[in-house]
Amino acid sequence: MRIEYSNKVIKTLRIKIIDKPGYLGNITSIIGANSTMIGDIKTVHLGKGYKIRDIDIYADENNVLDNILSSIKDFEGADVIEVVDVVEKMHVNGKIAVKPTVDINSIDDLKIIYTPGVASICKKIHDNKALADKYTSIRNNVAIVTNGTAILGLGDIGAVAGMPVMEGKALLFSLLAGINGFPILLETHKPEEIIETVKHIAPTFGAIKLEDIKAPECFEIEDKLDAMLDIPVLHDDQHGTAVVVLAALLNIAKYTFVNLKESSVGIIGLGAAGTGIMKLLKSYGIKEFNGVDLDKSALERFESLGGSPKDLRGVVEQSKIVIATTGCPDLITPDMIQPGHVILALSNPNPEIDPDLAMKHGAIFAADGKSVNNALAFPGLFKGALQAHAFTINNQMKIAAAKTIASFALEGDLVPNILDKKVHEAVAKDVEAAAYRTGVAKIYED
């Protein structure tokens, strides 16, 4: 099962509009009448009797954009000057770059940071390998490894086509946690080749982040690399998602007085995300799990972890909390919903059931995947692990991250603002403490 992405259109319309009352309102009404969201509206030029404005719009399909442009063309008093694809514009030449942390202003500076000065640092590290953490960037480097087999909901589109996603992850690492994220693209479907490659490049990094590698191969790759390397290895599709789901559930339990640990949890879709969620919720203390998936091997894996396989209706009707990660819109029908249900229909852009519809049919709480973004978890989770020199990221560290994320949510919200750096700093601090508390941190002496 995978998400079928609609042709989402994000554009900026540059429009010349007569500067009189009602004209801008008519343009926004045309856009709204086409079921299209409006973002920022900026005045970019003030002329005699007119203004040129940039209007950001978010439409579902290209034909909707065509309808909007046609309607504006027929409206007297406004002309579309330009249509800008803001997504393409933002991605020109990529989103990341490697930049120095020191300046070179003279030949003497060059001698210090390169030859001959650098030789003394090389000798120190040769004598004591642990000093690489002090004198190089290794401790703050994270490899973002993908083979492109599960990119977003687009499926197996290859590693190179997945590079914009990896760059996005690297950008978030840098902005939210001050970590150097390096995309590593591997054009192979063979787990053993990925494992061997990562094993040999691992000395460059303080941690390995596996990204958008499909199930079931992702489980073997993560398990083997985590066992063989002395640095953290984490598959974000599983564990980053699971951390944010747990954070959301902690707040739902607070708002609804649901006893989380005593609740039955149904998981619809037992791929990487569904399996990761089940593992973390089980570690947190939830005991009863029902699950369904079209893949027989996924059901067998779920059962081996302590879950009870059922059909779709059975999962929904026999679970207090239902979490869906299938990519199948409208999979959960209203007649399945029972009074008191908690529904997290996490597939984007179209959930398994509309939250409002679920609430209308008796759910005490329902949400979709718009707020459950693993970018709330991975920057702080990795930073905390790196600060602790941890050799793994265990469930206690993930639970600490989830509790911290939950604590920053405003009253009534499931999770906090993803761009709030204080959240990621706090997550890192608490994850680091959990690493020391559980004995997975390494302590070095200079």
What is the DSSP pairing of strand 207-210 with strand 321-324?
unpaired
Is 114 tagged catalytic?
yes
User: Which of the residues 169, 214, 320, 383 is marked catalytic?
Assistant: 169
Angle at 395 between CA 251 and CA 216, to 5 degrees: 105
Mention every residue, 6+ apart, whose C-beta is less than 8 A from residue 212: 146, 148, 149, 150, 151, 152, 162, 165, 237
Whether 129 maps to a domain, the answer reads no
Given its phi and psi angles, is residue 5 left (phi above 0), alpha (psi -120 to 50 degrees) or beta? beta
Does residue 320 share a domain with residue 178?
no
Which amino acid is located at 75 in the chain?
F
Q: What is the pLDDT of residue 410?
A: 94
Q: Where are the beta strands (DSSP E) in 243-374?
A: 264-268, 288-292, 308-309, 321-324, 342-345, 365-368
Does residue 279 share a domain with residue 173?
no
Percent of the chain topping pLDDT 70: 98
Whether 354 maps to a domain, the answer reads yes
Q: What is the pLDDT of residue 242?
A: 97
Whether 335 maps to a domain, the answer reads yes
Whether 207 maps to a domain, the answer reads yes
Which amino acid is located at 33 in the chain?
A
Q: What is the pLDDT of residue 348?
A: 78
Q: What is the pLDDT of residue 446?
A: 52
Domain boundary among 75, 91, 107: 91
Whether 113 maps to a domain, the answer reads no
Does the structure show a pLDDT above 60 at 6? no
Q: What is the pLDDT of residue 5?
A: 45
Lowest mean pLDDT among 5-19, 187-201, 366-380, 416-430: 5-19
Rounded distance between C-alpha atoms, residue 344 and residue 322, angstroms: 6
pLDDT digits (tens, 9 = 90+) for 121-132: 999 999 999 999
pLDDT digits (tens, 9 = 90+) for 290-346: 999 999 999 999 999 999 999 999 999 999 999 999 989 999 999 999 999 999 999
The pLDDT mean for the chain works out to 94
Q: What is the pLDDT of residue 7?
A: 57
Does the structure show a pLDDT above 50 at 3? no
Q: What is the pLDDT of residue 2?
A: 37
Any alpha helices (H) in 325-394, and if so which ranges?
Answer: 355-360, 378-387
Q: What is the pLDDT of residue 445?
A: 59
Does residue 298 share a domain with residue 366?
yes
C-alpha R_g of the chain = 25
Does residue 159 share a domain with residue 263?
no
Is the distance from CB of 217 to CB of 191 less than 8 angstroms? yes
User: Which of the residues 8, 42, 114, 123 is marked catalytic?
Assistant: 114
pLDDT digits (tens, 9 = 90+) for 164-197: 999 999 999 999 999 999 999 999 999 999 999 9
Q: What is the pLDDT of residue 444?
A: 66
Does residue 420 share a domain with residue 341?
yes
Does residue 330 share a domain with residue 201?
no
Rounded distance between C-alpha atoms, residue 165 and residue 160, angstroms: 10
Whether 339 maps to a domain, the answer reads yes
Rounded distance between C-alpha atoms, residue 426 and residue 249, angstroms: 19
Does the structure show a pLDDT above 60 at 1? no
Is 135 tagged catalytic?
no
Domain of 49: which CATH number?
3.30.70.260
pLDDT digits (tens, 9 = 90+) for 188-209: 999 999 999 999 999 999 999 9
The domain of 382 spans 243-446
Does residue 311 share a domain with residue 182?
no
Is the distance from CB of 190 to CB of 399 less than 8 angstroms? no
Does residue 375 share a domain with residue 306?
yes
Does the structure show a pLDDT above 50 at 224? yes
Does residue 273 share a domain with residue 185?
no
Whether 106 maps to a domain, the answer reads no
Domain of 290: which CATH number?
3.40.50.720
Is the distance from CB of 224 to CB of 195 less than 8 angstroms? yes
Q: What is the pLDDT of residue 299?
A: 96
Question: Which among 444, 398, 410 has a CA at the least distance from the CA of 230?
Answer: 444
Mention every residue, 6+ apart, whose C-beta is less than 8 A from residue 172: 181, 375, 378, 379
Provide the 3-class DSSP secondary structure of residue 130: helix
What is the DSSP pairing of strand 207-210 with strand 141-146?
parallel
* C-alpha distances in Å from residue 151, one per residue of 94, 147, 157, 234, 238: 17, 9, 7, 17, 14
**Mean pLDDT, range 425-431, rounded to an integer:** 98
Domain of 148: which CATH number?
3.40.50.10380
Domain boundary among 199, 231, 263: 231
Does residue 379 share a domain with residue 257?
yes
Does residue 261 share a domain with residue 330?
yes
Does residue 203 share a domain with residue 181?
yes
Is the distance from CB of 58 to CB of 22 less than 8 angstroms? no
Q: What is the pLDDT of residue 443?
A: 78
Element (H or E) spanning 141, and its range? strand 141-146
* Structure confidence at residue 373 as a pLDDT band (50, 70, 90): confident
Q: What is the pLDDT of residue 4?
A: 41
Whether 121 maps to a domain, the answer reads no
Q: What is the pLDDT of residue 59?
A: 87
Domain boundary among 56, 91, 126: 91
Element (H or E) spanning 204, and its range? none
Q: State the total domains in the chain.
A: 3
Q: What is the pTM assigned to this prediction?
A: 0.90
**What 8-state DSSP symbol labels residue 139?**
G
